[in-house]
């Protein structure tokens, strides 16, 4: 992998990740952009103890542009985009309309491919590995920023999810705090460790799932399963079999196998609802250990956390979505219409090979 860092016309950082070591990235951003001004602010809720990002400047962000005006495609002639070069493999750049910025963290966009009409599932294994390397590099680089506590790499796919740009891409959020969901996991890990005299909760969960009927696919270094208490109609968790706290901890064997397992999983997701159905909308979310202090989680350190990816769709059946209504939105109590065992069975049925 070759990494080339440059700056856009408004001062934002842009990084090319190339498969070829001889790639030259010297194109200049020719757009007449003024410096980006953000109004991002993080406010803490005193009752719930969580944080909310207030980012009013995002009201003016690009919204469903036509394909020939996509800002994530390479620049061509006088059609100038966020990527100055006319080609690219993988590109990461600072979001022009970030939810988090400055002392409140940082937001980046990750373009998986220059092909506007592709999806992550269409990538070659070599390209998918390059994306993994980019995620890992961004995790490493952003973790050193003084305002950053946790790194979240994720992909939103599909208009139903709320995606405003159709080009295959994901994002990286660098939070200035430990996210509520991660905090819940760490509290459970601490309680389990105390109750069992030191047993790791993630290890116990993985052992249980490997022995159950909800395993979807398994490699030498990775396993994908529908969790026992899945919140979403079709939800799969992908774990490396050797527990590591973050993407930086993966060894070469796990990195090599990841594209094979993940691409197969995404292809199965697109087959869930049968032939002729539109692509399955999904969220793919990497969960990594925070880089900040963990004193509030008694007896827990970073190595007690287990890196994993959670992949889920809000579509519950053909033409119908799972809405977060009263119980889910008001009380955070999920009601799942699809038994996890049936979901796992369906994802095994639609194997691509």
| Catalytically active residues, by annotation | 169
- Please tell me the distance from the alpha carbon of residue 120 to that of residue 57, in angstroms, as a whole number: 29
The two structure tokens encoding residue 244? 């590591």
Q: Token pair for residue 76?
A: 């061509």
- Write the CB contacts of 145 (distance below 8 Å, at least 6 apart in sequence): 106, 174
Cα(158)–Cα(164) distance, rounded to whole angstroms? Answer: 9
Alpha-carbon distances, residue 196 vs 149, 192, 241, 304 (angstroms): 29, 6, 21, 14
Tell me the three-class secondary structure of 137-174, residue by residue.
Answer: HHHHHHHCCCCCCEEEEEEEECHHHCCCCCCCEEEEEE
Residue 208 backbone phi and psi in degrees, to 5: -65, -45
Q: Which residues contact 94 (CB under 8 A, 6 or more apart)?
A: 8, 12, 13, 14, 36, 106, 107, 108, 109
For helices 125-143 and 252-269, give the axis angle rounded to 10 degrees.
120
């Amino acid at each position: 992998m070759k990494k080339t860092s440059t700056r856009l016309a408004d001062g934002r950082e842009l990084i090319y990740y190339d498969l070829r070591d001889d790639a030259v990235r010297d194109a200049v951003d020719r757009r007449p952009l003024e410096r980006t001004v953000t109004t991002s602010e993080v406010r803490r809720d005193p009752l719930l103890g969580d944080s909310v990002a207030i980012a009013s400047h995002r009201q003016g962000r690009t919204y469903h542009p036509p394909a020939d005006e996509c800002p994530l495609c390479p620049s061509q002639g006088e059609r100038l985009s966020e990527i100055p070069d006319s080609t690219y493999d993988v590109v990461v750049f600072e979001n022009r309309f970030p939810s988090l910025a400055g002392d409140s963290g940082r937001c980046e966009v990750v373009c998986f491919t220059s092909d506007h009409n592709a999806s992550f599932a269409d990538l070659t294994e070599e390209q998918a590995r390059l994306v993994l390397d980019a995620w890992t590099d961004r995790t490493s680089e952003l973790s050193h920023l003084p305002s950053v506590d946790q790194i979240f790499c994720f992909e939103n796919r599909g208009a139903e999810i709320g995606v405003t740009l159709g080009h295959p891409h994901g994002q990286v959020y660098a939070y200035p705090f430990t996210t509520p969901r991660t905090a819940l996991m760490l509290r459970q890990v601490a309680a389990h460790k105390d109750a069992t005299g030191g047993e790791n909760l993630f290890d116990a969960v993985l052992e249980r799932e490997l022995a159950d009927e909800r395993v979807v696919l398994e490699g030498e270094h990775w396993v994908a399963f529908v969790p026992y208490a899945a919140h979403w109609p079709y939800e799969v968790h992908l774990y490396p079999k050797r527990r590591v706290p973050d993407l930086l901890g993966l060894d070469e064997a796990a990195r090599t196998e990841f594209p094979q397992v993940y691409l197969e999983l995404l292809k199965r997701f697109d087959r869930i609802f049968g032939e002729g159905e539109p692509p399955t909308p999904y969220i793919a979310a990497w969960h990594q250990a925070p880089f900040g202090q963990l004193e509030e989680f008694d007896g827990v350190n970073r190595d007690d956390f287990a890196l994993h990816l959670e992949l889920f769709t809000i579509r519950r059946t053909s033409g119908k979505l799972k809405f977060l209504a009263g119980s889910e939105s008001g009380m955070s109590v999920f009601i799942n219409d699809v038994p996890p065992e049936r979901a796992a069975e369906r994802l095994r049925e639609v194997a691509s090979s």
